Chain A
Amino acid sequence: MHRRDFLKTAAIAAAASSSSMPHLTYAEAPPLQGKVEHVISIWLGGGMGAMDTFDPKRVGDPQKKVPGSYYPSIETAIPGVKLCEHLKHMAPLMDRVTAVRTVNHHVIDEHAAATNFMHTGRPVSGTVVYPSLGSIVSHERGPAGEGVPPYVLIGYPNVTRGPGFLGARHGYLYLTDTSRGPAGLSRPTSIPPQRHSRRESILATLRQHQGQQHQDLLQDYEEAIDLSLQLSGPSFNRSFHLDEEPADLRNQYGSEFGQRCLLARRLVERGVRFVEVSHNLNFLNGTGWDVHNEGILQQHALIQDLDTAVSTLILDLQKKKILDKTLIVITTEFGRPPEFDAGGGRGHQGTAMTCVLAGGGLNHCGAYGETDELAKKIVTNPVSVPDFFATIHASLGIDFAKYLYDGDRPVPITDNGRPMTALFS
């Protein structure tokens, strides 16, 4: 495949954007230049409670409605940084991880709005449809390899992960089933290969007899057909053959979510720039991370699932020597309060929550920022969502102060975000 063709036709390929618009710059120059090449962004839909995971506090009592953590905590590789006892595989790796415990926002406690905010870093305006972080990274850096899409979503498609004003070519390819590859670019399993060959040969014959497709516009589409036939063929789709991986490793990754993380690593190796992996398995406890009422009873199963997969991913990336150039990000739409609801579960809390960074060659410190004794209020080093995004941009070497353009209109790449400089040595 010619790279030029891919760029021209792929909805999924990035192209550098240039604009004749004046480039408005911040007075201060961006000093930070990370070395990250890829991002694996793990999304915990529903809202992960920090005090039950990465910011444990004193144990509470859901029956007696005494606020506090649901589980006891354990020590980690970093003295003084504790995790909930169900993150026992993560604990020894915390020297490669920073739990940012003071992320905060004030978006109304509605999942869609908060999810949007945690993907775009902005509230909905109705005038500009903002691009997601993945789309911005795709726009700024393009794919890291030939013939691959820059941005893949392993989870349900959603406008909040979309390209906004950057346009469809900075959107994602998505898949929900790790055994199948992305919708539209993997062969349907119901059609056996020999039938597919016949189909392609019929199509090829008919295309040959079509005389009049010489107009440029139509030619573009013809090229897209060629490319789609190629991409849905065996070559690219091999990335999705997880059975090529050693059985031991697959077992270590664990559940379907673990397999998604493994697939993310394979995609990164192929040159995909940004992979979002959704941890959406509410089979485990019914509500997923949205642990209202009895949803919380099986929350530990979710935490263990996350622990197994992410710790394996960190070690696997390290073994493959790509941990330093792959940034793992764990985000969620909001945290949860220390208090318990009538059913013993928890409500929503956006004003103090934890997001996690791992790998990417950052100067990790186990935990960043401090909350009060119940993880309800931020005590030191608050990190706004734009700050958190600016940190990710900086780690990728993207100018966190630059402007993107919605047509004529300059839009700062983050909403006045500043990177967490402590993570850059």
Chain B
Amino acid sequence: MKLPSIVSNFIDIAHEKRHLFFTVLGVTLMCPPAFAEEVKPVAYWGFGQEESTPLQSHGGVHRDVPGPRPDRYPDFPADNIAARFDGKGARFTFTDPGPGSPFDFTNGDEITLEAWVKIDQILEGESVYLIGKGRTGNPGFARDNQNWALRIRMMDGRIRASFLFSSIHEGSSPPKNEENWHRWTSDQGFKKGEDWHHVAIAYRFGSPESLVSVIDGKQVTGYWDAGGPTKNPPTVDNDAVWIGSALGGSAGNSFRGDLDEVGIYRTAISVATLKARYRGPEVQFSSGLQPEEMPRLENLPDGAVQVTCHEGMPTHFRWLNDDETLPAETLRWQTNSFLMDRLPQRYDSWGIRENWKAPVLVRLAADVSLPPGKHRFLMRVRGLSRLWINGTLVARGVPAKGSQDGFEPMTPPAVPPKPGLRIAEHRQQEVSGEYEVTIDGKSRVVLETLVGGRDFRSDPGELCVAVETADGNSFLLLQPDQESPSHLTNPVVTSLLSQQNREMQKFDDQRRRAAALSQESFWNRRHQFARDWAKQNPVPSLPANAQQRHPIDAFLEAKIQSALAASSKTPLEEARKFHKDVLSILRDQCFRCHGEKTQGGLSLISLEAAQTGGDSGFAAIHPGNAEKSELIRRIRSDSPEERMPPGGAGLSEKERSVLEDWINHGARWPAPPVTPEMVKHPPVLNDEAFLRRLFLDTVGVIPTAEEVREFLNDESPDKRARWVDRLLADDRWADHWMAYWLDVLAENPTLLNGSLNTTGPFRWFIYDSFKDNKPIDRFVTELVLLKGSAYEGGSAGFGIAAENDAPFAAKGQILASAFLGIELQCARCHDSPYHSTKQQDLYALAAMFQKKPVTVPKSSRVPAAFFENQSRESLIHVSLKPDEPIPPVWPFGELTGSIDDETLATLIQNPADSREKLAALITAPQNQRFSEVIVNRVWRRLIGTGIIDSPDDWEGKSSSHPELLKWLAQEFIINGYDIKQLSRLILNSQIYQREAIRSTLPVSPDMQFFIAPTRRRMSAEQVVDSLCVAVGQSMDVEEMTFAPEAGRTSQSRLTLGVPDRAWKFANLANERDRPSLSLPRARAIADIMEAFGWNGARQSPRTDRETDSNVLQPGILQNSDAAVLLTRASIQSGLADRAVNAVSPEQLVETLFLSILNRVPSEEERRALTPILAEGFQQRLLPNAEQKPVQFPDPLPVVTWSNHVQPEANSIAVEMERRAQAGLPPDPRLRPEWREAYEDVVWGIVNLSEFVWVP
């Protein structure tokens, strides 16, 4: 607008912006904007750079920000400057000159107000001040003294122009209902964005119809939306003029953004002139919402409800404006009723979970047969919704509300719409409406609802539409196929939902797998590369005896034979003596540094090595001459710097003389003593035990009685192999692997605030990967690339480490131990004293992961005081300087065989990305460490002991069967890194199928022959899941969340769903020690798992849990609430059904044994238990008339994070705990005396130690 004409003496000033330029009539002169008509401002502010003015700034007001500039706004100078306001009361103020000032307006006066604005932030419903006189909150003035104000308001997503003043009221004082406030607001407005906008209003006081408003060169309509139009004069006093705020600096009325060219005129400038003031991009206005019409959806499927999703709606609190278009449909599926309790999973282009782009418009639509006549409908929704029938709007839902922090009032449980019907879920809106069907035939029903939002999780809650029955006694879920009416009762809805959930899971699987195909060709290429590489790098071939044997058994047998042969060369006694007396000292005292590791260049692993000596050049052992042996000198040295082993008391005199004697007698080093008895194989497992072990090792739970019977009755010779295949194909395979990877990868999601090294819930990424049997190289690659949603289950959740100052170092440590057998724990703060790894290695890895150089954080530095207090030279060294940036360079080329060279390019999609590089270097076939580590992990999991028995730390460890390990790794690579295939190989071997043994001591690798698997106890998850299977009852626990209403994003309050398998649990820590933040039913199950070694708070990675027996394990299975409830014949439980359907006490005993221990009972066991069940067996069923109806307790208000500090929340929590202890009532069909004896028998069998052991 700065047209260079009109009043020349001002133009220059305005143009150059040398002064913040304001004028007051009669005081200075007037401003010169380019008007067709000549108008003079009372005041005009251009916010230049260097002016000195009576304007005072308060709070965060900044000069020097760019104003509107060409080319976009051609009327402005190229260096135009504006003022920025931070809000929270930031403002310019100008003191009113006094009575009769040019800023005072009353009836008959004309006024024009204008400004250029660029909005940084404004919230829906807010009215913020551009400029106004009065209503400052200054002392000595009435609160309602607004003479005039130009404001902008955000309504329905539109920023509108608004004019406000207060009139002098007559009558009561103060006026009621604020009727003396008069506010005009434009119908149209602009959207938030980066552009500048011109806003102007002109008015003649006393003539309410005179108001005109122009925005961005267009006249806009509007109306007096508060206080109505008035002819009363406005309030006039000597209060100040404020720019950018009002009401003492109220944050909600403060402008956040940039302002320029603010003007006040004592003329009503014409619309044409005001229009001409804007030259800039054409701006689209909206006058508000699109007209409400039922969406036109052609061709709905017959007999189904069609559901569609449109992602990325503008906001959760309104429908589309007339200038907005419906986002494209992203997903469509069909279901059988107007019922839904979750959205399908959203996947990215690789098939990894990601967030919905919320809000999501979800439409459920169907053609439904409704008889003509009046009907009442009921709709349950979480957010903004509308229900249409045949084009008529029948019911509306209001926008979802956010959650508070603890202080929200308790929400009473909903009242059922009719007695006996299911109530609406916590915080679901229940709205009803009537509609008269006039057409004969099908009616079209459409429900539109907005799910999720910027501040909400995308969770629709339990949503449904139901129609009242003709008799008025019930509601039926609306279904296109009304043949079998579904009443809105708990059993019907839960059954439909679980059916729907199964369908939804299939739908998810199918879409995920389809998306994953997008990467298929890349991975096919990589696996072809791997096969080619394997061909060029052959491994030990199968032993000669392999024809008759499974290859694994052939390798094992070969070692046995060669060990027997070697042993036969030395008398057994001599060999035993050496291995028992001499080698044990070396192993315990020296091998830590001089075994596989060679500190100081010295290894004592063999006589040859010891004779060679280390860096000193002295032979450690001189056969026949102890005195000349450096080893003896060092163990006898008095110097603390020289004596070995370092620190501690050193060797005992007896140990020293044993070593001396041995050297003086020639230092003979015979092969280990092995006798045929030592390598005799235990028998192969019987069928019962085999099946139980196979189930636990593949699907993680014991088989059912029916499965055991089926297997035992199967007489085909290859039945074991067939059942191996059958179980490997079972989806529960994924469940079984979860516990393992959650521990190894330290998955640690939190139900409350991120803290204590918590991560995102990347459990879902792991689960999906194993469900799809994703090749492990691809699994690791996608893990490292941190894809998808960090808080809703993508691998990105792995990248989170709350309150950890070096998150990527923490993750580097996990990757190295999980996939490379490299332990970097120490390297976080210093070089490892017993490993070759350096700080540099870990931080280089972290840098690759983080895609930029990293420095050691302050809190990971060893305090100087530590070194000052050392009496001997410290074993630890800090090699990195503080603040030294460590570049992203692969540190493990030599160790793994995987080199960062040009061959890598074929394994990467984007070679410039160091994170992708890292993933490829870990998973490339050249990285033999990787394939061997994985193979060893799988082997160890199935056999109980590893070929290298330290799965996450290989340094200094030797392999008991190096050829077998290499051969298996090669097979693994050739088979495309397929863990199922690898498992199949091991499960079909003889070794796997033998009776387990327990070796009393750790076996040294040369004495490890794998004559049988190692005996294992069930994992915590297996105990709980198997108990549920054994008693035929599902786990009855709360949803893992404190925000069931989804009133926050997943980042701050996630849900992990309702667990149906034990691995789905998470840390239930109640840091604030509040009863109202406990989940008592889940707690009861977690107690069992914790006793058996589970820990939901996985702060750091681990492969092995503690396995020692302890008193709490049997204790918790005998006494805990959960165990009592699971062994109860409660209503609708498997135990109750078995008792009701039993044919005889004998048969019932057998069924119990098959269900719980997976074997038939022995004669003694039958004899012991049958009489107990026989007593009263015939009368065990109560006649219907005698059965007491089961009373379920009334629903309680839901305790959530939002309301948990309300006193009532605690008393409800205590009641929840009481109910959790009480559990489901016993089955009313069974006579109590007999039922109790039956439960006691079940309890007895469950509490046998046999239950918790893997055969």
Contact = CB atoms under 8 A, between A and B. Distances in A.
A218 B1245 contact: no
A10 B1111 contact: yes
B1069 A160 contact: yes
Interface stretch (B275-283, B626-634, B764-772, B858-866): B858-866
A227 to B, nearest CB: 5
A408 interface: yes
B871 interface: yes
Nearest to A24: B870
A213 B1249 contact: yes
B690 to A, nearest CB: 16
A159 B1067 contact: yes
Interface string A193-221: 00100110011011101100101111011
A290 interface: yes
B1114 A225 contact: yes
Given A113-B803, A206-B1165, A217-B1015, A168 B1111 contact: no
A160 B870 CA distance: 30
Contact of B1205 (A45, A183, A287): A287
Pick from A159, A224, A280 the residue with the most CB of B within 10 Å: A159
A252 interface: no
Given A188-B1119, A221-B1109, A290-B1072, A409 B1114 contact: no
Nearest to A189: B1221
Interface in B5-55: none
A188 B1120 contact: yes
Contacts of B1113: 11, 221, 224, 228
A286 B1205 CA distance: 5
Interface in B1115-1168: 1115-1116, 1118-1121, 1124, 1162, 1164-1165, 1168
Interface in B847-887: 859-860, 863, 865-866, 868-872, 874-875
A224 B871 contact: no
Interface in A98-128: 108, 110-113, 115-116, 123-128
Interface in A123-163: 123-129, 155-160, 162
Nearest to A158: B1069
B1110 A45 contact: no
Contacts of A283: 1075, 1207, 1210-1211
B1248 A288 contact: no
A215 B1015 contact: yes
Contact of A232 (B833, B1074, B1118, B1244): B1118
B648 interface: yes
Interface residues of A, number: 91
Contact of A221 (B1017, B1076, B1211): B1017
Interface residues of B, number: 105
Contacts of A41: none
A9 B1073 contact: no
Nearest to A282: B1074
B1250 A210 contact: yes
Contacts of B1112: 11-12, 173, 184-185, 228
Nearest to A230: B1111
A120 to B, nearest CB: 10
Contacts of B1222: 190
Contacts of B1118: 228-229, 232
A209 B1205 contact: no
Contact of B1109 (A9, A184, A209): A9
A316 interface: no
B407 A293 contact: yes
Contacts of B868: 27
Contacts of A112: 750, 752-753, 755-756, 1069, 1071
A155 B1070 CA distance: 10
A116 B868 CA distance: 28
Given A202-B1241, A287-B406, A116 B1015 contact: no
Contacts of A287: 406, 1205
Interface stretch (B130-138, B344-352, B1094-1102): B1094-1102
A231 interface: yes
Contacts of B1087: 157, 183-184
A78 to B, nearest CB: 31
A23 B998 CA distance: 34
Nearest to A298: B1207
A11 B1111 contact: yes
A351 interface: no
A361 interface: no
A57 B523 CA distance: 69
Contacts of B859: 123, 125
A407 B1072 CA distance: 32
A341 interface: no
A43 B191 CA distance: 53
B834 interface: yes
Interface string A284-299: 0011101001110000
Given A23-B648, A283-B1207, A288-B1073, A126 B1111 contact: no
Interface string B720-732: 0000000000000
Given A21-B648, A46-B1073, A183-B1116, A222 B1249 contact: yes
Interface in B1215-1255: 1221-1222, 1236-1237, 1240-1241, 1243-1245, 1247-1250, 1252-1253
Interface in B989-1030: 997-998, 1000, 1015, 1017
A216 B1076 contact: no
B1119 A185 contact: yes
A191 interface: yes
A311 interface: no
Contacts of A110: 753, 755, 803
Pick from A158, A160, A187, A217 the residue with the most CB of B within 10 Å: A217
Given A127-B810, A225-B1249, A416-B865, A9 B1111 contact: yes
Contact of A168 (B1093, B1120, B1205, B1206): B1093
A4 B1110 CA distance: 13
A43 B1073 CA distance: 10
A116 B802 CA distance: 14
Given A127-B810, A188-B1124, A209-B1165, A198 B1237 contact: yes
B483 interface: no
B757 A209 contact: no
B263 to A, nearest CB: 38
A246 interface: no
A10 B1067 CA distance: 24
Contacts of B1250: 210, 213
A124 B810 CA distance: 11
Contacts of B866: 412, 416
Contact of A45 (B825, B1071, B1207): B1071
A80 interface: no
Interface string A226-268: 0111011000000000000000000000000000000000000
15 contacts: A9-B1111, A24-B647, A24-B874, A45-B1072, A111-B1071, A113-B755, A124-B757, A155-B1073, A158-B1070, A191-B1124, A198-B1237, A203-B1248, A280-B1074, A286-B1206, A290-B1205
Q: Report, nearest first, the 9 A-B pairs whose CB atoms are least far apart.
A: A22-B647, A11-B1110, A45-B1073, A280-B1073, A202-B1244, A228-B1115, A159-B1097, A184-B1116, A112-B755
Interface of B: 406-407, 588-589, 645-648, 746, 750, 752-753, 755-757, 801, 803-804, 806, 810, 813, 825-826, 828-829, 833-834, 859-860, 863, 865-866, 868-872, 874-875, 997-998, 1000, 1015, 1017, 1067, 1069-1076, 1078, 1083, 1087, 1090-1091, 1093, 1095-1097, 1099-1100, 1106, 1108-1116, 1118-1121, 1124, 1162, 1164-1165, 1168-1169, 1172, 1205-1207, 1210-1211, 1221-1222, 1236-1237, 1240-1241, 1243-1245, 1247-1250, 1252-1253
Given A113-B756, A160-B756, 7 more contacts: A22-B648, A27-B871, A127-B1100, A157-B1083, A167-B1106, A205-B1168, A295-B1205
